[in-house]
Amino acid sequence: LAFQHLAMRNHSCQRTPWGTEKKVFIVESVAATATKKLKMTRRSAEMRRSQFAKWSWLIWRRLSS
C-alpha cells in the first residue's frame, strides 16, 4: 500500500513538470506565430510601399515626358 502511494505521488510529481512544459511550449509557439505574422505583415507592407513608389515614379515619368 505504501509503495503504491509512493508510486502515485511519484507519478503526479512527474506529470506536473510535463504539464507546465506543455503550457510553456504552447505559449512559446503562440508567441512565435504572432511574431511571424507581424514580420510577414511588415514585409508585405514594405513590398506594397516599394511597389507603390515604383508605380508612382513610373506614372510621374509618363506625365512629365
pLDDT tens sequence across 23-43: 778 788 888 888 888 888 888
Please state whether the predicted TM-score (pTM) of the whole model is above 0.85. no
Helix (H) or strand (E) holding 1: none
Count of H-run helices and E-run strands, the chain: 1, 0
pLDDT above 80: residue 54: yes
Residue of 61, 38, 41, 39 whose CA lies nearest to 49: 41
At 1, the pLDDT band (50, 70, 90 cuts) reads low
CA distance linking residue 7 with residue 13, whole number of Å: 10
pLDDT at 55: 92
DSSP structure class, residue 12:
H
pLDDT above 70: residue 17: no
